[in-house]
A and B are shown apart, each in its own frame.
Chain A
């Protein structure tokens, strides 16, 4: 008989090794899945992980894309990680991402066609505010009435989806585009655009914001009182209340920060690579960021690595779709496997296997 036994302290080795092992296992299981779909598994894995970086034909296009995709993932995941550590589960970053994009774009479009240095900064503030405000709905409901922030924030994603679709054909629709849904293209409005800082690099202000967010959250976790409170609330909620940490206040702070980060990611996307408010603006960054946060072990440095890895599977997945005809759903299943193996292997960090002799009757 084999039994799981809780380790006296989490294993440092396994905490560091599980992400790598999870990636390896995902490649194996994903390869099996691709083989069942009738694709060459080795070619598929190589297309996903290797070609975006080194393929002679695609790499020039896909390398900058890596930064474009990794930026919002890292920015959103860093905010989420802080709440997750406190046991505050913001599952609705996708909704806050959309809300930030709507608010930011609305401010930009309101000034159109005025040129002024202040337009973009105002949009940034509005984007952060939009995400924050959207996150305040589950936060205040939880703090005041004890509702589940998991359900409320998740449901609000679908509300935000409907709102952005309505905006694209309604209030924010481009008045000059006769009948077409979608807003004006902000990328073509210089005062509001968020272009590559170095042409062709894929690095726009969102990437800079992601780096600042990583540094800020790192500092908070390591040195600031808030970081201690977050960890204490996550590890021992009763001790946290004894220490005087108000669960409601912490919920509002953590959801607010992650909402603002997600809103910023939405704003940088709509003003940059996205360009405009469209019916289908939501792209799943907010959900993928949950995987990124856990893959990065809820640590800012880990999240940077995990963000690039997930961006790689995104881009590699797209290449695999048009090069070898992998269905898009297979790519999503592949990304899901990564989270599945990671969480499964987490057992190894906290538990160990013990072999037991059978009990005497």
Chain B
């Protein structure tokens, strides 16, 4: 396949007109209209709850609109299922990968196909496509051995094998290292040059300015602007999206003093096959300080959080809070001691989806907020605490007696973080605090974390969003294959140095030997 830069034909590839979709209590999409021409990289921008996901699900046949119509290549297009959308030439790479770790790349690709060819021929096609688009990928490797970036390549190749006319990418860079992002952008540009249009969803505005030639901006389920992002600044785009000025959080000077949270020699075996073992993790965070922990997904983030939350207790001396050994305590006792945690997965881990916000306060605040006394639950107190979180963190919800799963991702995350912060912990550890969260909610959460540190607590932010860590943290450390690098001050840290600390993700081993301070 050769890249032919043909002049843009007048007919749009996909036209969307008057799309409206209401859920009980929410108008997710209202009269949405936009068009994508063949070969374009078109951005879909908006806060969480702005209606991006619903719109994309409609285009991909997962949700049926209440009103409106779509045309694909001039013909009416109303997919009843993702299979119908794929048959019509629309493919999608989801934020969460649907891959089986125990199977090889080729086997995973075959599983996603309606009529897969024999594996050996498929492997050949995978090699051909990955070579043509600059996506290094070995079809015979088990997915368990792949980095997040490589897993994403599997998903992209899976889509490209269907020779789609439109490729939908949902927040594709959220799990990638800077180097992997470069590779991805090269690939996407090549795909677009071959005439496949790309609908690109991201909250990282710099990326959209770099990659996209047109953008549709959604706010509250409506189109508020269509523009050429290359002619706008990130700040302008953010304000169109949010509808108000976005302030970066104020960062206080790094404090001095005794460490509040100390982890020393923390090792944990992998909890399940393909899980990650932790090896001799050491860190120390002072009161008022924010330690940022970067790293590509699957390098021990979940395990580190579980070891700190008490879900997987270890030796008592491995975790100390204000000098007191708490490493062997169960979760409730750790919270009482003053160590709060917020895991990455909001639904089902940090919160129970089918329980109300009031009930969800009990998950972590039962002890510190004295919501349970003599074994009896004080539902009034719990409801009052839920109401305080909602008010203090601007959680958009009809009330406290709403199921957690009814909240948008950003609002639920504000609730989860707020639930921990309002308990005034001595130390707070959060994993991916703004993952899949809109810009306004992300800014609010970061500000809240900065404020908590400002009030004297030790804060650990585990995140794959390096921009977030650079903005928020005083010191930075990286998790790689269950090992944590020594922390370095963020001031003066270059992108290249960070990339090296991340340990050179799989497929970039060249970066590894130069890494300094990375334990072998």
Contact = CB atoms under 8 A, between A and B. Distances in A.
Given A228-B359, A241-B311, 9 more contacts: A9-B403, A225-B372, A238-B345, A243-B331, A243-B362, A244-B330, A357-B80, A359-B61, A359-B79
Given A232-B363, A246-B330, A356 B352 contact: no
A226 interface: yes
Contacts of B23: 8
B143 interface: no
A225 B375 contact: yes
B107 to A, nearest CB: 27
Contacts of B379: 223
Nearest to B87: A361
A242 B80 contact: no
The 6 closest A-B pairs by CB, nearest first: A244-B331, A359-B84, A236-B352, A244-B332, A359-B80, A243-B363
7 contacts: A225-B372, A235-B352, A238-B348, A239-B350, A243-B362, A244-B310, A359-B83
Contact of B343 (A236, A242, A358): A242
A224 interface: yes
Contacts, number: 93
A198 interface: no
A360 interface: yes
A39 interface: no
Contacts of A356: 64, 80
Given A223-B376, A359-B84, A236 B330 contact: no
Interface in B307-355: 309-311, 330-333, 335, 343, 345, 348-355
Interface residues of A, number: 27
Interface string B369-380: 000100111010
Interface of A: 1, 8-9, 223-228, 231-232, 235-236, 238-244, 246, 356-361
Question: Size range of the interface on B?
Answer: 35 or more
Contacts of B364: 242-243
Contacts of A236: 348-349, 351-355
A224 B355 contact: no
Contacts of B406: 8-9
Contacts of B343: 242
B59 to A, nearest CB: 14
Contact of B375 (A226, A235, A238, A360): A226
A225 B79 contact: no
B363 A239 contact: yes
A239 B349 contact: yes
Contacts of A226: 375
A9 B23 CA distance: 12
Nearest to B402: A9
A283 to B, nearest CB: 36
Contacts of B447: none
Contacts of A359: 61, 79-81, 83-84, 87
A1 B79 CA distance: 14
Most chain A CB neighbours (cut-off 10 Å) among B88, B333, B354: B354
B78 A360 contact: yes
A6 to B, nearest CB: 11
Contacts of A361: 87
A265 B341 CA distance: 45
